Each structure stands twice: as structure tokens, then as C-alpha cells.
Amino acid sequence: MSASDLTISQQGFVRQIVLNRPDRMNALGRNLITALRTELERCRFDHQTRVIILTGAGGRAFCAGADLKERADMSQDEVDAFVTELRTTFHLLFNHPKITIAALNGAALGGGLELALACDLRYAHDSVRLGLTETRLAIIPGAGGTQLLPRVIGPAKAKELIFRAQPISAAEALTLGLINDVFPNDDLLDQCLEIAEQISQNGPIALAQAKKAVNQGLQCSLDQGLQIEQLCYAGVIPTEDRLEGLRAFKEKRKPQYQGK
């Protein structure tokens, strides 16, 4: 299936979205962002999708950030509108009810790393380089990077990466906790699919509620966070899936969750 600048496929409960502009290092242009937003909104209500993997076409870049060639012809107002659209789309991704994985199969720079930061999990192959390189273009990360990077790796290292604007290796990113793991190039997608498949066997409502509890809880005090956890837990108590989990445990079989 192809939706303009995206190539989309489905394996079981796992949806794979490939950024498909290899001649521009999968840079984020207007059409790509519109297609991504449309697809993410569609996935919210798709019971067949429990995990989304985002990756890039062409093997050289996951995503090289904003399309700088498109940007060159934009007015100031158009730049403002585009970056706002990018930020809104990535925030939609951050708050998406499905679990999201960035399979970084090439450079993740600027908006490309911001896209990955909006995902729940990030895996890279060993020769990938990652960075928020915007300040060397005399701009700042504008699609969530200034907020998500310090939340993921802490403010000191985040400031260093943003101010120096130098890409780092996958090994360094792993040490910083910016990515979850590093795999050999040929294994990356298979490993991500295996992780996605494993996650997709768990209760889909529980996954969404756990994600919401972590994401919202990180934005407030521990007391408020525990209240959020309680509310999210309350969301799983009346579900059919919770009863199926208990039945499957008693009957010593694998649960079959329906997302109900």
C-alpha cells in the first residue's frame, strides 16, 4: 500500500510505516507530513493495529529532518505554519494510543530525531548517526526536540547535543539512553518486528493505559502521577481482556485479547 510519501504494510497486529523519499534522505516535506498525520489518525481507531514501526526507505537515512530544499522557497509565515504542523503531528504520535517504535536504519537528524523521540521505543543499527543539528542552521529544534530530548536523557546532555549540533554514534546514543538498543544492520528490522510482535500479544487497552500513565505522569509530581496511574488502572478493570487474562492463566494457555 502506498500513501504518497509513505509505504505502509501490515503483519499481524504490527503496522509498518516507511518514510519513502530516499532521494531526499526521507526528509520531512509537506506531503509526507500530511500523509503521516492522516495515517496516524486512521490508526487510532484500527483494532488490527497494536504496534506501529516507523522506518526509512533507501538504507542511508531514517530521516534527515525537515526538507531543506522545500524550506528554501517558504515565506516566514509558511515556515511558522509548517513547523507548527510538524510539532502537532509529532505530538499526536507521542500521545498515540498504539505503541510506537522507531527503527533507525540510517541517519536520524534534526526533525528525523524529533520524530524518533516522539516514539515510545528507538532501536538503531550500529553505524547510524543521530543528532539535533538545527543550531548549525541557525534554527532550533522545533518539533518537540527541546522538550523531549531533556526528558529522555536529562538536561545537561540534551543541551550539549543541541548546542554542539554534532551527530553522535549509535553506541553513544545507547550509553546516553537515547535509544533502547543497537542491532547489526541486517538484523534491525527483524529485531524490531520481533519486539513489536511480542508487545502486540499483550492487552491492547493495558498497553495504551500504561503508555498514558508513563507519559502523563512524567509531566507532574509523584502524587499527581500516582493519581494518573489510578485513573489509568481504572480503565482496565472493566475490560473483557482482563477477565481473559485471568482465564488464560487458570487454563494454562496463551490469552487471546480482543481490545475490549
Residue whose CB is less far from ligand COA, 96 or 129: 129
Binding of ligand COA at residue 68 (CB under 6 A)?
yes
CA angle, 197 then 111 then 98, to 5°: 25
Q: Based on the residue annotation, tell me whether 12 is a catalytic residue of this protein.
A: no
Binding of ligand COA at residue 79 (CB under 6 A)?
no
Active-site hit among 61, 66, 158, 170 = 66
Please pick, from the candidates 18, 43, 54, 66, the single residue that binds ligand COA as defined by CB under 6 A. Answer: 66
Residues 181 and 179: their CA atoms lie apart, in Å, by 6
Residue whose CB is less far from ligand COA, 69 or 247: 69
Active-site hit among 110, 124, 131, 134 = 134
Please pick, from the candidates 17, 57, 64, 205, the single residue that binds ligand COA as defined by CB under 6 A. Answer: 64
Binding of ligand COA at residue 42 (CB under 6 A)?
no
Binding of ligand COA at residue 162 (CB under 6 A)?
no
Residue whose CB is less far from ligand COA, 82 or 257: 82
CA torsion through residues 89, 6, 129, 51, sign: positive
CA angle, 142 then 83 then 80, to 5°: 110
Q: Which residues contact 251 (CB under 8 A, 6 or more apart)?
A: none
Q: Based on the residue annotation, tell me whether 114 is a catalytic residue of this protein.
A: yes
Binding of ligand COA at residue 110 (CB under 6 A)?
yes
Binding of ligand COA at residue 107 (CB under 6 A)?
yes
Binding track over 215-244 against ligand COA, x by CB under 6 A: ------------------------------
Active-site hit among 114, 131, 173, 208 = 114
Binding of ligand COA at residue 134 (CB under 6 A)?
yes
Q: Based on the residue annotation, tell me whether 131 is a catalytic residue of this protein.
A: no
Q: How many CB atoms lie within 10 A of CB 137?
A: 13
Q: How far is CA 221 from CA 51, 210, 214, 230, 240, in A?
A: 29, 17, 12, 14, 32
Q: Based on the residue annotation, tell me whether 229 is a catalytic residue of this protein.
A: no
Q: How many CB atoms lie within 10 A of CB 117?
A: 26
Active-site hit among 56, 65, 106, 111 = 111
Q: At what angle do helices 155-164 and 145-153 cross, to 10 degrees?
A: 130
Binding of ligand COA at residue 20 (CB under 6 A)?
no
Q: Which residues contact 25 (CB under 8 A, 6 or more apart)?
A: 58, 60, 61, 63, 64, 106, 107
Min separation Cβ 22 and ligand COA, Å = 8
Side chain identity, residue 248:
A
Annotated catalytic sites, by residue? 66, 111, 114, 134
State the residues that interact with ligand COA by CB under 6 A.
24-25, 27, 60-61, 64-69, 107, 109-111, 133-134, 137
